[in-house]
Homo-oligomer: A and B are copies of this chain.
């Protein structure tokens, strides 16, 4: 339940998508690592808050207590701490496991791919953070998924907002999850959740509302830096100054136009400590192709400076910032697009079928195909002693093989091969 087999057409399309993503990661000088699917249970304990109940545990068959990884970030942090690595830029594309309620039509599975790019190390502020956003911008542009927007915020600004609105520290995390809903419901509903479920006073909720409904660019950052209350809060001020720097770098990268400093962006995970961001595709109203696919967040990430320290015996920190590309969701969109376009995705790369027009020529086919393979040419033949020529040509059409190398009695006598273009039916003797 919640898992699936991927048939060849599926994998071929996914490989096409991943090739574009990996090309971007490599363009940015990232190396790649591989960690086990199995982790010690204790490694995952206390990293995912409420979601811990979704972790797959292995049966105790003697020896260590194990679980399946829930994401790639925690194993990455463990890897850095275990190997005392203080400086790395790496990507990792692999499957993760969550015992969630599967919703296959909406692309939610229990086994799915994550696709992460992270920069670890102590660096000057906002330079690696800006690069992560550049990576997201490049990938979404390359894949031509339509118009998109990247929302950016900072956990320090959000914490500052809560502080100046007199929300107690203990409510910050639960407030984050309520604020995060502003992208799906109107302020009035969010406000009533704050007051009703979370027990805030209407005045406190309104004070928060004045901030979290704001979004903009450099102008908004400047304005908030002048805000009499927020500018007095140390965390918020740090966050806003870094946000200003970030937008300067994004402008130099030429990508500030797609960025929105959005105070309602909160993101779920506890471990974020600084910049957070999320990329969303913008709905195209007249494009009913996309309608059937739920459009939403296609990438997200942020800075997590405390996670590696949790795995180091001396608590030594390694600052990290990273992004996760939502390739399962992007894949659904591409799959839908291919379906509508009627494109037939080839599942093999075969260039030529070795064929014979008469009987008793298996030996000739075996010799020719062997020569082609040894010359590095992608070649197939039917596994029949005496296949009909029509069947062989039909196979080419069915599987998209562009050429047939035909060797018959006449060709054998003349020492040639007849090369046929399957689409145009043109033949040349070579």
Where the two chains meet, the residues of A that have a C-beta atom closer than 8 Å to any C-beta of B are 1, 3-8, 10-12, 14, 26-38, 56-61, 63-64, 68, 79, 82-83, 88, 90, 95, 97, 99, 110-111, 119, 121, 123-124, 127-128, 130-131, 134, 138, 249, 252-254, 347-350, 362-363, 366-367, 370, 373-374, 376-380, 383-385
A34 near B11: Cβ-Cβ < 8 Å: yes
In the bound assembly, the distance between CA atoms of A130 and B7 in angstroms comes to: 26
Complex Cα spacing A386 to B347, Å: 49
Check if A82 sits within 8 Å of B5, measured CB to CB: yes
Q: Which residue of B lies closest to A35 (CB)?
A: B5
* Chain B contacts for A38, CB-based, 8 A: 3, 56, 97, 110-111
Q: Name the one of B29, B34, B384 contacting A5, with C-beta atoms under 8 angstroms.
A: B34
Given A111-B38, A254-B370, A363-B252, A63 and B124 contact (CB-CB distance below 8 Å): no
Task: List the 9 shortest-distance A-B pairs measured between CB atoms, nearest first.
Answer: A123-B383, A8-B31, A29-B380, A6-B34, A3-B36, A31-B347, A252-B366, A29-B350, A127-B383
Closest Cβ of chain B to A237, distance in Å, is 20
A26 to B12, CA, bound (A): 12
Q: List 25 A-B contacts (CB under 8 A).
A: A5-B33, A5-B36, A8-B33, A11-B32, A11-B34, A12-B31, A12-B32, A27-B379, A28-B379, A29-B378, A31-B347, A36-B111, A37-B97, A37-B111, A57-B58, A57-B59, A61-B99, A124-B384, A127-B383, A130-B366, A131-B383, A138-B373, A252-B366, A253-B366, A253-B370
**Within the complex, which residue of B58, B254, B349, B367 is in contact with A59, where a contact is CB–CB below 8 Å?**
B58
A30 & B348 in contact (Cβ 8 Å cutoff): yes
